[in-house]
Amino acid sequence: MKILVIGSGGREHALVWKLGRSPHVSSLACAPGNAGIAQERLRSNGAAVGCVPIPAEDLRQLLDYARSQKIDLTVVGPDNPLALGIVDLFQKHGLPIWGPNQRAAQFESSKAFSQDFMERHGIPTARAGTFQNPETAKEFARSLGGRCAVKADGLALGKGVLLATDPAESDAAIDEILVRQTFGAAGRRVVIQELLTGMEISLHALCDGATGQWFPASQDHKRALDGDQGLNTGGMGTYSPAPFLSDAELASVGASILTPWLKGCAQEGIDFRGILYPGVMLTEQGPKVLEFNARFGDPETQVYLTRMENDLVEVLEASRRGTLPQVQLKWSPQASVCVVLASGGYPGAYAKGKPIDGLPECDAMEHVKVFHAGTAMSEGRVVTNGGRVLGVTAWGRDLQTARDLAYAAADRIRFEGKHCRRDIAAKAL
Ligand code: AMP
Ligand code: GLY
């Protein structure tokens, strides 16, 4: 099969790496990809993975490319092209593509849509309201004592959630989104949720339009600094399994979300084929969904795909074709840990173009894979090209082993301004 992956981050490198191990794949390209993706080779025939310089949001050019190259399967990594309707466009032209269509992708592209859906179908979530008017929004936030999460309705590069703990903060957050319009059109409406406390976990369910199967639990580290301090980021590291849920608990938490969700989709005629990724808070009152994403998490994918034992092509094809019950997801009992190496200053302003040393030493390590995120080639060298630069991923018989190995590898990599959290997976140990 000829496969095209869309996106350029660590998630897409992990997708390319895993797809490249499948005997079904005869050619693999990534648009636009990154320096690490360009170094991958297929296990089946040794062919190099090609990076195609088309941005992930340029649907027209992606369509033209997939048609001219006769791509057998396009795999969409990021949320933006899904929200723009890439799946609908490809399907209209008869091109096989994996991911939710535009209507189904609303679970991520509109927090108001998701919140209303959860309330309509009895999915456990925070108490919440959706507002356009700043004054009524502030009134609702005050009714929660100002302790709330104020969320821009639309996609805001993962930055559209402001947390408040008193009425002055909630007023300021509402003004920032609805009045100052910091997030533009994404902030025409806000969803305000009561502030929940507890352990936050990431769940992924692979869905095929009628059924779903859960992955094991994982945990991301969203804040920039150790001890969950500092600003929110795209994610500074992950690990799986996350030991806060036994298999039986995961099954029951999963069912409390997926059963009503699937029923609601069936009732409303929503055909969701892709990954449903709820962020879940394990509160004293039980698990509650904070938000839905409609794609693989980044960096959750890095730990999931280093544990997945199935052929990823077969798994994604079953999701796309609606034959998921014929597949049983299989996971290595080993633990996997991903430590993100970020540019100095991230998630604020940061420099690019810093040469990266130590990658070949890591390539030589067993049970280690360095997934590239924000990297590029410059004058024959791998250089930094984004906020999250690398996702150093390692696996071993338990979390402690995997974590020690991930940090041993992370410490061999050097670039000016390099920053990482030192406490990835610490909560689990
Ligand atoms: P979201 O993008 O909606 O997951 O929000 C980003 C981050 O804000 C989440 O990962 C949580 O850490 C935090 N958050 C979101 N909603 C809430 C809430 N209702 N209560 C507490 N924290 C929240
Ligand atoms: N791990 C955070 C995200 O993918 O949104």
Quick one: pLDDT at residue 295? 98
User: Rounded CA gap, 233 and 222, in Å?
Assistant: 5
CA torsion angle 223 115 284 122 (round to 10): -150
Given ligand 1 and candidates 107, 281, 288, 290, which is best to mutate, with the most ligand atoms within 8 Å of its CB?
A: 290
Provide the 8-state DSSP code for 227: G
Task: Work out the average pLDDT over 161-180.
Answer: 97
Task: Work out the average pLDDT over 53-64.
Answer: 98
Question: Quick check: CB of 151 below 6 Å from ligand 1?
Answer: yes
Quick one: pLDDT at residue 359? 98
Sign of the alpha-carbon torsion through 300, 303, 307, 308: positive
Given ligand 1 and candidates 111, 150, 161, 288, which is best to mutate, with the most ligand atoms within 8 Å of its CB?
A: 161
Tell me the per-residue pLDDT of 199-209, one tens digit each, with 9 for 90 and over: 999 999 999 99
Question: Quick check: CB of 220 below 6 Å from ligand 2?
Answer: yes
CA torsion angle 175 179 185 190 (round to 10): 40
Atom of ligand 1 nearest to the CA of 222: 10
User: Rounded CA gap, 350 and 372, in Å?
Assistant: 17
Tell me the per-residue pLDDT of 17-45, one tens digit each, with 9 for 90 and over: 999 999 999 999 999 999 999 999 999 99
Rg (CA), the chain: 21
pLDDT band for position 400 (cuts 50, 70, 90): very high
pLDDT band for position 246 (cuts 50, 70, 90): confident
Q: Residue whose CA is closest, atom 4 of ligand 2?
A: 297
The share of the chain scoring above pLDDT 90, in percent, equals: 98
Quick one: pLDDT at residue 54? 98
Helix and strand totals (H; E) in the chain: 13, 23
Sheet holding 97-98, edge to edge: 50-51, 27-32, 2-7, 73-76, 97-98
CA atoms within 13 A on the CB side of 101: 15
User: Rounded CA gap, 92 and 114, in Å?
Assistant: 26
For Cα atoms 311, 316, 320, give the angle at the middle one, nearest 5 degrees. Answer: 150
Q: What's at 423, amino acid-wise?
A: D
Task: Work out the average pLDDT over 361-378.
Answer: 98
Contact assessment for residue 288 and residue 196, using Cβ atoms and an 8 Å cutoff: yes
Task: Work out the average pLDDT over 409-426.
Answer: 98
Strand-pair category, 73-76 with 199-202:
unpaired
Question: Quick check: CB of 171 below 6 Å from ligand 2?
Answer: no
Quick one: pLDDT at residue 331? 98
Lowest mean pLDDT among 145-154, 155-164, 187-196: 155-164
Q: How many residues make up the chain in this entry?
A: 429
Ligand nearest to the CA of residue 238, numbered in listed order: 2
Q: Residue 76 is inside which H or E element, if any?
A: strand 73-76
Task: Work out the average pLDDT over 203-232.
Answer: 96
Task: Work out the average pLDDT over 57-80.
Answer: 98
Tokens of 351: 């420099």
> Of 79, 242, 72, whose CA–CA distance to 156 is shortest?
79
For Cα atoms 316, 254, 105, give the angle at the middle one, nearest 5 degrees. Answer: 50
Task: Work out the average pLDDT over 183-190.
Answer: 96
Task: Work out the average pLDDT over 183-189.
Answer: 96
Tell me the per-residue pLDDT of 284-310, one tens digit each, with 9 for 90 and over: 999 999 999 999 999 999 999 999 999
State yes or no: pLDDT of 157 exceeds 90.
no
State yes or no: pLDDT of 368 exceeds 90.
yes
Strand-pair category, 199-202 with 205-208:
unpaired
Given ligand 2 and candidates 15, 220, 290, 295, which is best to mutate, with the most ligand atoms within 8 Å of its CB?
A: 220
Per the rule left: phi > 0, alpha: psi between -120 and 50, beta: everything else, 46 is: left
Residue 186 CA to ligand 2 center (angstroms) comes to 18
Atom of ligand 1 nearest to the CA of 194: 19
State yes or no: pLDDT of 159 exceeds 90.
no
Average per-residue pLDDT for the chain: 97
Contact assessment for residue 386 and residue 427, using Cβ atoms and an 8 Å cutoff: no
State yes or no: pLDDT of 78 exceeds 90.
yes
pTM to 2 decimal places = 0.97
Q: Residue whose CA is closest, atom 3 of ligand 2?
A: 297
pLDDT band for position 101 (cuts 50, 70, 90): very high
Residue 191 CA to ligand 1 center (angstroms) comes to 11
Question: Quick check: CB of 298 below 6 Å from ligand 2?
Answer: yes
